[in-house]
């Protein structure tokens, strides 16, 4: 992939890309296209619908008859928490496979209640290590007869999945018998964990193998694993099978990690899988915030399931309280603003922070104060801050630490399941903006880079296995959730419609500016520059609306706009001056509108925002649309209309600017995150500035060239205004002229005839 995001100031900005439709997913499970003034909803929904179809296809291809393997070749059996996440995805459209997935897993539940990490598929043995011959779980009286399983467990997400299956079922009543069957098994699993894995009755269970955490080679485990001195002479011989699938070994655990994984398994089998014996001699016993948070959150679901089938939720609720209190008390590290693991063997915390340390948010286990600190740590360069650019939320390990590795498995890349849980956790504590941004990253990663196992935390490249189960499943869930959120915002918009139904002339009123007409344009431009200097972050394209609203600079600007009512536009002389005047005025009417309408999250809260907001200028009204399509685009047809902006006899046609310069599209700011970054344009330098704006935009993540996929992903701007660039061929020429990556240019040159464009979601969230 050639042109994603680069670490230079010029290309600093990465925008979060998302669909902007306000349609909701119907219960009939179809993603319908939609209209919408601010964005081309139809094609957006289609992109979603296509990818949901692709995700379902992946799950179908990985289906093994009664459960789903996590990946086509790398993981050819059923995995414990993978099945939970997969069932969550399927719950939206295939209740029967979702329930079967869980039932198959629990059919292999051990007699002591443990649900194994892997249930082996007898038909695909020989392709993974370690398999039943190595685990030798038949030594344990607890192993389930007739089933082939491993001898460890994983984070127990299943109750959460079961509750989802019920909630998402078209006829929840029909799922009740499944709930009745599975409830005692879920209860037995949780009971096993508290009984066997919490010897001191603290409310915190331990894991005894890195594979039990699900985040196998996380740097957190380096410390306890170092304790294991591997003696090659006594280590049972083994052969790794995970390196033979075309995956770069750099992206997988090292041999020395595997030696330790294997030596732990060897210890378990030597102990006959007897928990008391294992506990006595195991060098790896860790109370992990990830595992305990998942268990704690699952207890909440367990209580809910109990209520649904008329059982008492008390046991599950008391576990919730106990584990929450223990996480809060024992695992919190105030100096690091995060939850750490506790090493039971060493009797100390493991102060190595991964994304797992934020998961108590998922369980509601963090206190409000802890959540505040967690949020500060999470929303920082360590884990990719909001609007930071050049990163995707949330990398699995602190990007600022030495051990961070953006490509290696659990040592840095972004994982969909962890972030899915984090997004829920953030929402639970009211950090909606951050939760939204996680959700959008999680949606765009598979769309842009494929349904991979994990993703590069800086440029999004997909690693590990392709066609990965939980990436596909949670994508389906996230799409559904996204549409649910949209349903709420469209309700807000409907409310707003009632409040602001008519035109809003922002410079009407009694105030009259005393600046002489001949000086007004200059004074207005200076005041716009003052706004830019004080309140715009031009590198990230953000506006501090909150401070701006109350500032003297903004009052001054408002005051000067009153002078526009009598301003004689003939005073603008020369194309540079006219261009700068209209571009700056457009960008500032948008800011003025956002402040005046007290827009909170998106200009979409106000219907027809660009058409209704107006300035009276020289006896005529000019909306933002009039300025953009009428003046700056040379009275072109807006993409959402059939007619040109100004009719044949419209007197405002006297001010249209021709010829149209397509670079204005990278200077006009629509108050949203996917538009160009806001800037002040100076008449003296405007051509250079437009040039820089176009170059920056084309080399940002708004234009991604993917030679290996034979396609180019582009901002919707190139779609809506294709004609302004001279059609598709003109867009290609434009890209060719402005791209700096030689490989990308060459690809465009060679493949111009066959190249396909795909358009990236447009993020209408406010650029604040
Ligand atoms: C990975 O773990 C397995 C061992 O369980 C492996 O590396 O072979 C982890 O990513 C784990 O979280 C996941 O459940 C499993 C299957 O996707 O693969």
Q: Is 419 exposed, middle or buried (0-12, 13-18, 19+ CB in 10 A)?
A: buried
Q: Reply yes or no on whether 722 is catalytic.
A: no
- pLDDT of 429 over the 80 cut: yes
Residue 21, CA atoms < 13 Å, CB-side half-sphere: 25
Q: How confident is the model at residue 493 (pLDDT cuts 50, 70, 90)?
A: low
Q: Reply yes or no on whether 216 is catalytic.
A: yes
Quickly tell me which residue has 């609720």 as its tokens.
317
| Integer Cα distance of 459 and 652 in angstroms | 46
The pTM of the full predicted model, rounded to 2 decimals, is 0.69
What's residue 539's pLDDT? Answer: 83
Residue to mutate, 79, 80, 124, 210, ligand 1, most ligand atoms under 8 Å from C-beta: 79
Q: What 3-state class would DSSP assign to 461?
A: coil
Task: Check pocket membership of 83 for ligand 1, CB cut-off 6 A.
Answer: no
What's residue 440's pLDDT? Answer: 86
Task: Check pocket membership of 210 for ligand 1, CB cut-off 6 A.
Answer: no
pLDDT in tens, 407-416: 999 999 999 9
Q: Residue 283 C-alpha to ligand 1 middle, in angstroms?
A: 21
Check: CB of residue 708 under 8 Å from CB of residue 1: yes
Q: Which residues pair with 339 in a beta bridge?
A: 332
Q: How confident is the model at residue 1 (pLDDT cuts 50, 70, 90)?
A: very low
Q: Give the mean model confidence (pLDDT) for residues 476-502.
A: 64
Element (H, E) at 349: strand 348-350
- pLDDT of 38 over the 50 cut: no
Positive/negative CA dihedral, 45, 51, 54, 60: negative
Q: Which residue has the higher pLDDT, 682 or 674?
A: 682
Catalytic entry in 23, 202, 216, 300: 216
| Integer Cα distance of 441 and 435 in angstroms | 10
- pLDDT of 10 over the 90 cut: no
**Beta-strand runs (E) in 403-528:** 454-455, 462-463, 504-505
What are the structure tokens assigned to 457, written together? 């935390």
Check: CB of residue 4 under 8 Å from CB of residue 10: no
Label the pairing between strands 504-505 and 613-617. parallel
Task: Check pocket membership of 470 for ligand 1, CB cut-off 6 A.
Answer: no
Q: Give the mean model confidence (pLDDT) for residues 339-344.
A: 98
Task: Check pocket membership of 242 for ligand 1, CB cut-off 6 A.
Answer: yes
What's residue 37's pLDDT? Answer: 38
Check: CB of residue 115 under 8 Å from CB of residue 156: yes
What's residue 40's pLDDT? Answer: 38
% helix, strand, coil for the chain, step of 5: 50, 10, 40
Task: Check pocket membership of 718 for ligand 1, CB cut-off 6 A.
Answer: no
What's residue 486's pLDDT? Answer: 60
Q: Residue 263 C-alpha to ligand 1 middle, in angstroms?
A: 18
Catalytic entry in 94, 337, 379, 453: 453
| Nearest residue by C-alpha to atom 9 in ligand 1 | 214
Q: Residue 211 C-alpha to ligand 1 middle, in angstroms?
A: 7
Task: Check pocket membership of 261 for ligand 1, CB cut-off 6 A.
Answer: no
| Integer Cα distance of 7 and 10 in angstroms | 8
| DSSP label at residue 70 | S
| Integer Cα distance of 177 and 572 in angstroms | 76
pLDDT in tens, 218-243: 999 999 999 999 998 999 999 999 99
Distances (CA, A) of 757 to 177, 462, 497, 686: 49, 20, 35, 30
């Amino acid at each position: 992939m050639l042109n994603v995001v680069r670490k230079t100031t010029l290309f600093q900005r990465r925008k979060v890309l998302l669909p902007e439709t306000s349609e909701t997913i119907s219960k009939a499970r179809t993603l319908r296209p939609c209209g919408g003034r601010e964005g081309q909803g139809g094609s957006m929904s289609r992109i979603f619908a296509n990818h949901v179809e692709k995700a379902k296809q992946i799950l179908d291809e990985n289906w093994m008859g009664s459960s789903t393997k996590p990946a086509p070749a790398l993981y050819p059996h059923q995995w414990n928490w993978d099945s939970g996440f997969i069932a969550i995805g399927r719950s939206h459209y295939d209740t029967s496979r979702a329930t079967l997935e869980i039932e198959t897993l629990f059919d292999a539940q051990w007699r002591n209640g443990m649900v194994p990490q892997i249930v082996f598929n007898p038909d695909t043995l020989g392709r993974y290590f370690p398999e039943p011959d190595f685990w030798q779980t038949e030594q344990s009286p607890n192993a389930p007869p007739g089933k082939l399983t491993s001898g460890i467990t994983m984070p127990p997400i299943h109750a959460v999945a079961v509750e989802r299956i019920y909630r998402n079922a078209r006829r929840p009543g029909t799922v009740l018998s499944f709930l009745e069957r599975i409830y005692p098994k879920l209860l037995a699993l949780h009971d096993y964990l508290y009984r066997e894995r919490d010897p001191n009755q603290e409310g915190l269970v331990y894991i005894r193998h890195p594979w039990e955490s699900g985040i196998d080679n996380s740097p957190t485990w380096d410390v306890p694993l170092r304790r294991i001195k591997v003696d090659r002479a006594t280590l049972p011989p083994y052969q790794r099978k995970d390196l033979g699938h075309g995956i770069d070994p750099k992206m997988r655990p090292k041999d020395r990690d595997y030696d330790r994984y294997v030596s732990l398994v060897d210890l378990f089998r030597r102990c006959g899988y007897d928990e008391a014996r294992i506990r006595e001699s195991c060098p790896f016993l860790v109370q992990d915030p990830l595992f305990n948070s998942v268990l704690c959150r699952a207890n909440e679901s367990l209580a809910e399931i109990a209520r649904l089938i008329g059982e008492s939720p008390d046991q599950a609720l008391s576990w919730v309280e106990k584990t929450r209190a223990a996480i809060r008390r024992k695992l919190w590290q105030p100096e690091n603003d995060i939850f750490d693991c506790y090493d039971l063997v060493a009797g100390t915390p493991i102060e190595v922070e991964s994304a797992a340390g934020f998961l108590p948010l998922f369980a509601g286990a963090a206190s409000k104060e802890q959540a505040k600190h967690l949020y500060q740590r999470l929303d920082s360069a360590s884990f990719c801050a909001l609007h930071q650019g050049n990163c995707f939320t949330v990398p699995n390990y602190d990007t600022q630490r030495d051990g961070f590795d953006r490509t290696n498995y659990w040592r840095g890349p972004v994982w969909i399941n962890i972030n899915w849980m984090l997004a829920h956790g953030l929402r639970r504590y009211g950090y909606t903006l951050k939760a939204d941004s996680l959700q959008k990253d999680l949606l765009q990663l598979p769309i842009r880079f494929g349904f991979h196992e994990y993703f590069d935390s800086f440029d999004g490249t997909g690693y590990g296995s392709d066609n990965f189960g939980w990436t596909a499943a949670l994508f389906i869930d996230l799409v559904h959730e996204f549409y649910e959120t949209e349903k709420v915002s469209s309700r807000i918009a409907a409310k707003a419609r009632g409040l602001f139904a008519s035109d809003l002339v922002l410079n009407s009123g009694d105030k009259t500016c005393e600046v002489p007409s001949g000086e007004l344009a200059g004074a207005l431009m200076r005041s716009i520059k003052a706004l830019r200097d004080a309140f715009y972050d031009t590198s990230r394209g953000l506006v501090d609306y909150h401070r701006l609203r109350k500032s003297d600079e903004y009052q001054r600007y408002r005051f000067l706009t009153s002078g526009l009512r009598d301003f004689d536009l003939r005073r603008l002389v020369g194309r540079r001056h006219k261009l700068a005047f209209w571009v700056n005025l457009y960008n500032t009417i948008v800011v003025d509108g956002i402040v005046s309408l007290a827009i909170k999250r998106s200009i979409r809260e106000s219907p027809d925002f660009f058409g209704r907001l107006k300035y009276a200028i020289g006896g005529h009204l000019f909306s933002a649309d009039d300025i953009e399509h009428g003046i700056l685009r040379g009275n072109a047809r807006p993409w959402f209309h059939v007619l040109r902006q100004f009719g044949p006899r419209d007197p405002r046609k006297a001010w249209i600017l021709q010829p149209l310069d397509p670079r204005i599209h990278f200077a006009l700011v629509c108050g949203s995150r996917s538009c160009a970054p806001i800037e002040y344009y100076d008449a003296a330098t405007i051509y250079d500035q437009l040039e820089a704006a176009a170059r920056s935009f084309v080399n940002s993540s708004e234009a991604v060239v993917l030679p290996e996929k034979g396609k180019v992903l582009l901002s919707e701007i190139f779609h809506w205004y294709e004609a302004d660039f001279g059609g598709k061929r003109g867009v290609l020429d434009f890209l060719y002229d402005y791209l700096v990556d030689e490989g990308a240019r060459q690809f465009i040159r060679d493949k111009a005839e066959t190249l396909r464009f795909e358009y990236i979601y447009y993020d209408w969230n406010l650029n604040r």
